[in-house]
Structure 1
Amino acid sequence: MSVKRYLVTSALPYANGPIHIGHVAGAYLPADIFVRYLRALGREVVFIGGTDEYGTAITETARKQGLTPLEVATKYHEIIRDGFVKLGISFDNFSRTSLPVHTEVAQEFFFKLHGEGRLYQETTEQLYDPEVGKFLADRQVRGTCYFCGYEEAAGDQCEKCGKDIEPLKLIAPRSALSGATPERRVTTHWYFPLGDWQPWLREYIGSRQGWRPTVLGFCQGWFGEELRGRAVTRDLDWGIPVPLPGHEGKVFYVWFDAPIGYISSTREWAEKIGQPEKWKDYWHDREGTRLVHFIGKDNTFFHALLFPALCHAHGDYVVATDVPANEFLNLEGQKFSTSRNHAVWLHEALERWPADYLRYYLTTILPESADSDWKWADLKERVNSELNDNLGNFVQRTAKFVAQYFDAKLPPAAAWSDDDQALLEQAARLPQELGALLEAYEFRRAARCLLALSGEANGYFQRQAPWRLRKDDPARCGTVLHVCCQVCRTLAICAAPFVPTAAQRIWERLGLGGEVAAQPWSAAAE
């Protein structure tokens, strides 16, 4: 595959509430680090995101807050978007699935599948609320769990025992909308025959060289039995209308239209930059586009199996080249729980901590191959001992010494000593070493690699003791500070994907002009 361009996406968060740092660790920070690195390499890359604004998650929040679904979606879209901006998540476009462009793209996608016979209809029973005159979504049903006897189980999952629930099997079901006892009624919907594409999916997953073992294992686990068809439409009054006669009151299932949001967001981006056809370069060039989906592991099925099958069945769109799904981030040893408010909300964390502190700490604990844990004491320790006392200390000592004794100008260098040469060679290797790790989505190791250089540089500064050389050997002192400035420059460029604000400050402390993010990655080795 000859890669011409990268299309990087982060999972669309539901706009029914703010996001927490577990979400950030799963899909957003790793994607941003990767994209910032690609930009520094000079790659053609577009970073796409947005909010998922349809479905019962939105309607239920609207019902509880006394708002319309659109008001809820708008409220939380703005909170989520502002949090990403403050954290430095550098989307090229951050869209909304409630926008007309998304409706158009999703309906076009459906029309193509429908017109080519890629969908089928099926009639099933569903619970219906006679008082409000609506079919009930799974989470709009309450009743007694048939596993553990919990009387407030929802129709999709029992919060007490954690088991998935079939709403028709709930004991003494009732509507969460009215409290009425629901009726069983038949309803007809369109389905995508995922099983028809199982042979292709086997081949597709089998050819994914370099995917994380956790993702490959998850996908291959689905092939033990035939994949079932998935409903594309549902009965709901908040969603994208099914564009067929006689389908009033039916909308697309959110699992179907949400990933299509990547396409519509890219189209919106192309319009914004004044090149309305540019999106096709990314979505129609199967050989030239590398499509990478950053997600949490709970989205793996939809991004590694279902959406690729949909795009392949459609025929016009690229399929994912890689899906580096992260595991879960826990909080002080327990799972995040929005219902129990056991979470660190991004917008609140940003009021307490600088964005780069959060970015750095999260990078060091990203759940890349197993669940990891956010600990407040660990955050303070790592930020202070690694980011501040290691990287920050070296830059501060170097910049202060140069400003005080060399008029804030790069000192001239004489002949290199073995110690000088060793540190400069380590710095010259850093961009390539970091690049290999970032391209393998090993962000934690990359952060350690970065800090290893600043740690070695601190040791070099201490061993050379420029405060003594200034009096005893001024020429040697200048050489030492020249080496330190060169290493600081390397660190600034290489740190920019991880801690962009701190990297820019380092750049400015060195008296260098422009933006560090605009420097080519190769310049870090010069």
Structure 2
Amino acid sequence: MSGKPKLVTCGLPYTNGLCHIGHLRTYVPADCYVRYLRRAGEDVLFVCGSDNHGTPIVVSAEGAGTTPRAFSEKYHTHFKETFEKMGVIFDHFGMTDDPTNHARTQSIVKRLIDRGYVYAEVINQSYCTTCKRSLPDRYVEGTCPHCGKHARGDECDQGCGRHLEPGEILEPTCTVCQTKAETRQQEHYFFKLSTFKEYLLDYLKDLNGTINAKNYAIGWIENELHDWCITRTMDWGVRFPGNEDLVVYVWVDAPIGYISFTEEWANAHGDDWRRFWCGDGEVTHFIGSDIIYHHCIFWPALLHAAGYGTPDAVVASGMLKVEDQKFSKSRGYVVWANEDYLDVNLPADYLRYYLLSYTSHTKELNFSWKAYQERVNNELVNTLGNFMYRSIYFAEEKLGGIPATPPKEEIFDEIRRTRDLVDPAFRAFEFKSGVDAIMGLATFGNNYIQKNAPWKLLKTDKAAAEGVIADCLQIVKALALFLEPVMPEKASLCWKMLGYETPLASHHLDEADTPLEGVTLRKAAPLFEKIDDEQYAVLEATFTRRVDEAKKKQERHEVKKEMLTIDEFGKMELCVGRVLEAEAIKGSKKLLRITVDIGSEKRQVVSGIAPYYKPEELEGTLVVMVTNLEPATIFGVESRGMILAAGDEAALLIPNREVEPGTRIR
């Protein structure tokens, strides 16, 4: 124990969709960690809340014919209720659109301005003439200026993965109406993130948590660190202090929600939120690996600049697969927390066990219904549940209660050995290792009762049978205490069968090796039920049907997308050109500046084929080119056409014999 107050948070669920297993990959381990620390006597506060701002919610609310606030409240309630059903219990679950967060965000931003860490700059902003509004973030899509791939307005999600600032995206298009956007100038505000490079590198050296979070952040900082635009042109969000036409960027006010939710809890409980954020408290963030950049770079720099304490640990979960396929809602590779799981009366504890025990927290987790069935049946039912039920049943039914015989010292040694494995594992966020150690104790108990066969001893040596059962009941007590963070509902049921009147959550882990006494056993009942083949078949069929429907939808979309009239195709001007010269574009690893002779003129084209061709190899080559595209500026260079290539390695389309430059493709 450190003696310091501990604050644990989870990345805020975005109120723009339903809860799925990908969310639970983060929230269940966080809840397990908090429960364990509390069983170990630590002072822990567990807060979270919903992330309510940003363009996707505005777009979704408009589509649903409601307001962003009402839309957010709907999904806020959905997440809160789903988490509670999964046994993920926060001390406070707030909303970033509530007054406390608006006030706290404006207070911190004002402090940043006063300290000279924020400056104004006029930048280019995409504007839709049809929708008649500026296009921040995901209202706009186009071409990444760094790698040339199709990208969202805030991130190159299909290419290099870089964060994109407002105005950076090339060939911008409105995502709502598909109109080609105009570029207009507007004043925005920037946080001087670039000045914190050395501070962040030093900070990350001592950051606790998972190594994937630390290494990822260090890699980004060493590569580049640009100033960060912290305003957006929207009506929905926290108003920027001093400029009512702008709101604070969602990735500023969302993490500030961690402070605001702490503040709301403290106000309700007569406590001081500053002891966590401005004192010697320890802050641990549990997040998904897709938001490491924000939590290990933006967030600590912002807190440090504003004079607040910084996080002590960032715990990032590994990626998720579903049935050996990359998690994808659009392709059907998803398991919805309610529709697919809770609503069909599957126990929350079964899924909690699967998520915590399948693999290391930082490694890729693969969910499959077959593996789920096997783990429940073999590990929970046959090993853990079998041992607990047999031990309590035999004591209550055959011996009339807890034997007076004290457990053997070797049993206490085995319990202490397990505790010594579980404690460092859970504290180091190695939940699988901790669960494995607990299940190792269950296997020990199962083998012990089987080997000593008290049902046989009872016929010849009742005292010996009582000794065996006393040993087993002590192991059951320890298992209930150790398992509460993993499977709180099942562990509590076992605790009640042992005869305890006080809640399991109020007991300390140190009681695992204190004798079981002063309680009266209750009637034993099986704690776990098998997932039979018929139930598995239904679960698998539901999943398969969703994937099939997603495939059919995609196929219909592709067919519709591919169908062109001859007149539409005729609008495209294709001709043969000859490459006259080619050279790399400074600062880009993928782009080449190419001059092409198309007969009537020479054209400059920017092409993302640098990884596959040396510039000198291209000179003199015949290529096929689209010549009637609107000019575009890519990486600061004007491009007037497109050279056609096929496949992931950009195989150039070329005539099979010599053709004059400018010859049309018919």
TM-score by length of 1: 0.92
Q: Please report how far the alpha carbon of residue 338 of structure 1 lies from its aligned counterpart in structure 2 after TM superposition.
A: 2.6
Q: Please report how far the alpha carbon of residue 158 of structure 1 lies from its aligned counterpart in structure 2 after TM superposition.
A: 7.2
2: distance between equivalents of 1:283 and 1:467?
58
Aligned ranges for residues 108-507 of structure 1 at < 5 Å? 108-142=107-141, 154-156=152-154, 173-208=172-207, 211-244=209-242, 247-273=243-269, 275=270, 277-285=271-279, 288-315=280-307, 317-348=308-339, 349-352=341-344, 353-366=346-359, 368-407=361-400, 409-413=401-405, 420-507=408-495
2: distance between equivalents of 1:145 and 1:110?
29
Report how many aligned residue pairs link the two structures.
510
Q: Please report how far the alpha carbon of residue 430 of structure 1 lies from its aligned counterpart in structure 2 after TM superposition.
A: 2.2
Q: Please report how far the alpha carbon of residue 165 of structure 1 lies from its aligned counterpart in structure 2 after TM superposition.
A: 9.1
2: distance between equivalents of 1:194 and 1:516?
47
CA distance change for structure 1 residues 192 and 501 in 2, over 3 Å: closer, same or farther? same
- Report the residue type matching 1:305 in the other structure: I
2: distance between equivalents of 1:53 and 1:389?
44
2: distance between equivalents of 1:170 and 1:324?
31
2: distance between equivalents of 1:232 and 1:381?
49
Q: Hey, what does 2:510 align to over in structure 1? A: 522
Q: Please report how far the alpha carbon of residue 432 of structure 1 lies from its aligned counterpart in structure 2 after TM superposition.
A: 3.1
- Report the residue type matching 2:276 in the other structure: Y
Q: Deviations over 1:231-261 (max 9, x none)?
A: 11111111111121xx222001011111000
- Report the residue type matching 1:192 in the other structure: F
Q: Hey, what does 2:36 align to over in structure 1? A: 37
Q: Please report how far the alpha carbon of residue 117 of structure 1 lies from its aligned counterpart in structure 2 after TM superposition.
A: 1.2
Q: Please report how far the alpha carbon of residue 227 of structure 1 lies from its aligned counterpart in structure 2 after TM superposition.
A: 1.0
Q: Please report how far the alpha carbon of residue 156 of structure 1 lies from its aligned counterpart in structure 2 after TM superposition.
A: 4.6
2: distance between equivalents of 1:450 and 1:329?
25
Q: Hey, what does 1:20 align to over in structure 2? A: 20
**Greater strand fraction, Structure 1 or Structure 2:** 2
| 1:50–1:96 CA contact under 8 A, matched in 2 | yes
CA distance change for structure 1 residues 170 and 261 in 2, over 3 Å: closer, same or farther? closer
1: distance between equivalents of 2:153 and 2:200?
30
2: distance between equivalents of 1:301 and 1:380?
36
SS across alignment from 2:397: helix
SS across alignment from 1:219: helix
Q: Deviations over 1:366-425 (max 9, x none)?
A: 552322211110011001111121111101001111111122x211116x6xxx443331
Larger radius of gyration, structure 1 or 2?
A: 2
CA distance change for structure 1 residues 44 and 337 in 2, over 3 Å: closer, same or farther? same
Q: Please report how far the alpha carbon of residue 154 of structure 1 lies from its aligned counterpart in structure 2 after TM superposition.
A: 4.5
| 1:429–1:525 CA contact under 8 A, matched in 2 | no
CA distance change for structure 1 residues 99 and 399 in 2, over 3 Å: closer, same or farther? same
1: distance between equivalents of 2:312 and 2:170?
44
SS across alignment from 2:299: helix
Q: Deviations over 1:449-473 (max 9, x none)?
A: 0000000100000011111111100
2: distance between equivalents of 1:251 and 1:5?
34
CA distance change for structure 1 residues 111 and 160 in 2, over 3 Å: closer, same or farther? closer
2: distance between equivalents of 1:99 and 1:34?
28
Q: Please report how far the alpha carbon of residue 144 of structure 1 lies from its aligned counterpart in structure 2 after TM superposition.
A: 7.4
SS across alignment from 2:342: helix
1: distance between equivalents of 2:476 and 2:75?
40
**Greater helix fraction, Structure 1 or Structure 2:** 1
2: distance between equivalents of 1:338 and 1:13?
16
Q: Please report how far the alpha carbon of residue 179 of structure 1 lies from its aligned counterpart in structure 2 after TM superposition.
A: 4.0
What is the root-mean-square deviation in Å for CA atoms of aligned residues? 2.2
2: distance between equivalents of 1:157 and 1:284?
32
Q: Deviations over 1:423-461 (max 9, x none)?
A: 331113322321111111110010110000000100000
2: distance between equivalents of 1:268 and 1:319?
19
CA distance change for structure 1 residues 306 and 366 in 2, over 3 Å: closer, same or farther? farther
Aligned ranges for residues 44-59 of structure 1 at < 5 Å? 44-59=43-58
Q: Please report how far the alpha carbon of residue 299 of structure 1 lies from its aligned counterpart in structure 2 after TM superposition.
A: 1.2
| 1:93–1:265 CA contact under 8 A, matched in 2 | yes
Q: Please report how far the alpha carbon of residue 155 of structure 1 lies from its aligned counterpart in structure 2 after TM superposition.
A: 3.8
TM-score by length of 2: 0.73
Q: Deviations over 1:114-137 (max 9, x none)?
A: 112111112210111223331102
| 2:149–2:158 CA contact under 8 A, matched in 1 | no
CA distance change for structure 1 residues 163 and 211 in 2, over 3 Å: closer, same or farther? closer
| 1:328–1:367 CA contact under 8 A, matched in 2 | no
SS across alignment from 1:185: strand
SS across alignment from 2:283: strand
Q: Please report how far the alpha carbon of residue 303 of structure 1 lies from its aligned counterpart in structure 2 after TM superposition.
A: 1.2
In the TM superposition, structure 1's runs of 4+ consecutive aligned residues that sit over 4 Å from their partners are 142-150, 156-173
2: distance between equivalents of 1:127 and 1:366?
44
Q: Deviations over 1:50-96 (max 9, x none)?
A: 00000012112212322221121111111111110000102110110
2: distance between equivalents of 1:298 and 1:492?
35
| 2:323–2:333 CA contact under 8 A, matched in 1 | no
SS across alignment from 2:316: coil
CA distance change for structure 1 residues 266 and 344 in 2, over 3 Å: closer, same or farther? same
2: distance between equivalents of 1:299 and 1:157?
12
2: distance between equivalents of 1:289 and 1:421?
39
- Report the residue type matching 1:324 in the other structure: V
Q: Please report how far the alpha carbon of residue 268 of structure 1 lies from its aligned counterpart in structure 2 after TM superposition.
A: 0.7
Q: Hey, what does 2:91 align to over in structure 1? A: 92
CA distance change for structure 1 residues 136 and 226 in 2, over 3 Å: closer, same or farther? same
SS across alignment from 1:248: strand
2: distance between equivalents of 1:3 and 1:306?
29
- Report the residue type matching 1:39 in the other structure: R
SS across alignment from 1:251: strand
Q: Deviations over 1:260-308 (max 9, x none)?
A: 00000001111222x1x521111110xx211101111111111122111
2: distance between equivalents of 1:227 and 1:149?
21
1: distance between equivalents of 2:158 and 2:262?
40
Structure 1 portions without partners, runs of 5+: none
2: distance between equivalents of 1:441 and 1:376?
25
1: distance between equivalents of 2:41 and 2:318?
30
Q: Please report how far the alpha carbon of residue 142 of structure 1 lies from its aligned counterpart in structure 2 after TM superposition.
A: 4.5
1: distance between equivalents of 2:478 and 2:19?
34
- Report the residue type matching 1:232 in the other structure: I
Q: Hey, what does 2:4 align to over in structure 1? A: 4
SS across alignment from 1:344: coil
| 1:431–1:525 CA contact under 8 A, matched in 2 | no
CA distance change for structure 1 residues 70 and 102 in 2, over 3 Å: closer, same or farther? same
1: distance between equivalents of 2:194 and 2:184?
27
| 1:127–1:135 CA contact under 8 A, matched in 2 | yes
